[in-house]
Amino acid sequence: MSIYLPIAEISVNIFVILGLGVGVGMLSGIFGVGGGFLMTPLLFFLGIPAPVAVGTEANQIVASSVSGVLAHWRRGNVDVKMGIFLLIGGLIGSTAGVYLFAWLRTLGQIDLVIKLSYVVFLGIIGTLMMIESIKAMFQSRSGAVLTASKRNQHNWLHGLPFKVRFRRSKLYISALLPIGVGIVVGVLSAIMGVGGGFVMVPAMIYLLGMPTSVVVGTSLFQIIFVTANATFFQAYLNQTVDIALAILLLVGGVVGAQIGTRMGSKLRGEQLRGLLAAMVLLVCGKLLFDLLIEPEDIYSIGLIGGH
Amino acid sequence: MLMYRFLLALTLMLFLPLSARAESLVADLSEHMVAITTGFTGTELLLFGAVDGDGDIVVVTHGPTEEVVVRKKDRVAGIWMNTQAVTFEHVPSFYQIAETEGAVNAMALSMKRRHKVGVRHLRMDYQETPLEDYQIRPFREALIRNKQRMELYSEEPGLIERRGKNLFRTEVFFPTNIPTGTYIIETLLVKDGEVVSAQTTPLFINKLGLGARIFRFANVYPASYGIAAILIAVLAGLFANWIFRKLS
pTM of the full predicted structure? 0.72
> Taking CB atoms and an 8 Å limit, are A231 and B75 in contact across chains?
no
pLDDT at position B187: 92
Q: Hey, where are the domains in chain B?
A: 2-206, 213-247
pLDDT at position A245: 92
Give the pLDDT band (50/70/90) at residue A9: confident
Residue A190 falls inside a structural domain: yes
Residue A174 in this model has a pLDDT that exceeds 60: yes
- Domain with A153, as residue range(s), is 2-292
User: Distance from B138 to chain A by nearest Cα, in Å?
Assistant: 9
pLDDT at position B229: 94
Of B41, B81, B229, Cβ closest to residue A241:
B229
Give the pLDDT band (50/70/90) at residue A33: low
Find all residues with CB under 8 Å of A179, minimum gap 6, and list them.
A85, A86, A88, A89, A92
Distance of CA B5 to the CA centre of its chain: 21
Disruptive mutation site among B91, B143, B230, B239 for chain A (greatest number of A CBs within 10 Å): B230
Residue A150 in this model has a pLDDT that exceeds 50: no
pLDDT at position A15: 93
User: Residue B178 in contact with residue B94, Cβ under 8 Å?
Assistant: yes
Find all residues with CB under 8 Å of B2, minimum gap 6, and list them.
none
pLDDT at position B9: 55
ipTM greater than 0.85:
no
Domains contained in chain A, number = 1
- Contacts for A45-48: CB closer than 8 Å, 24+ residues apart: A46/A12, A46/A16, A46/A17, A47/A10, A47/A12, A47/B177, A48/A5, A48/A8, A48/A10, A48/A12, A48/A242, A48/A245
What is the C-alpha separation between B162 and A46, in angstroms, rounded? 39
Residue A167 falls inside a structural domain: yes
Give the pLDDT band (50/70/90) at residue A146: very low
pLDDT at position B8: 57
Quick check: helix, strand or coil at residue A118? helix
For chain B, residues with pLDDT lower than 70 are 1-23, 248
> Taking CB atoms and an 8 Å limit, are B69 and A302 in contact across chains?
yes
> Taking CB atoms and an 8 Å limit, are B145 and A65 in contact across chains?
no
User: Distance from B181 to chain A by nearest Cα, in Å?
Assistant: 13
DSSP state, A108? T
Q: Which segment, A31-45, A197-211, A221-235, is predicted with the most confidence on average?
A: A221-235
> Taking CB atoms and an 8 Å limit, are B237 and A63 in contact across chains?
yes
What is the C-alpha separation between A270 and B144, in angstroms, rounded? 52
With contacts defined as CB-CB under 8 Å, which chain B residues touch A291?
79-80
Give the DSSP H or E segment for B83.
strand B79-92
Residue A254 falls inside a structural domain: yes
Residue that wins the pLDDT comparison between B45 and A64: B45
pLDDT at position A50: 75
Which residue from A125, A87, A61, A26 is spatially nearest to A218, judged by alpha carbons?
A: A87
Residue A151 in this model has a pLDDT that exceeds 60: no
Q: Which segment, A174-178, A300-304, B68-72, is predicted with the most confidence on average?
A: B68-72
pLDDT at position A144: 47
* Paired sense of beta strands B158-159 and B95-99, if any: parallel
Give the pLDDT band (50/70/90) at residue A255: confident
pLDDT at position B17: 46
Give the DSSP H or E segment for A22.
helix A14-31
- Taking domain B2-206, whether its CATH number is 2.60.40.1930 is answered by yes
Q: Please report the residues numbered 81 through 140 in chain A whose beta carbons come closer than 8 angstroms to any beta carbon of chain B.
A: 108-109, 111-112, 116
User: Residue A22 in contact with residue A255, Cβ under 8 Å?
Assistant: yes
Quick check: helix, strand or coil at residue A156? helix
Disruptive mutation site among A3, A4, A290 for chain B (greatest number of B CBs within 10 Å): A4
- The string of DSSP codes covering B182-201 is EEEEEEEEEETTEEEEEEEE
Residue A166 falls inside a structural domain: yes
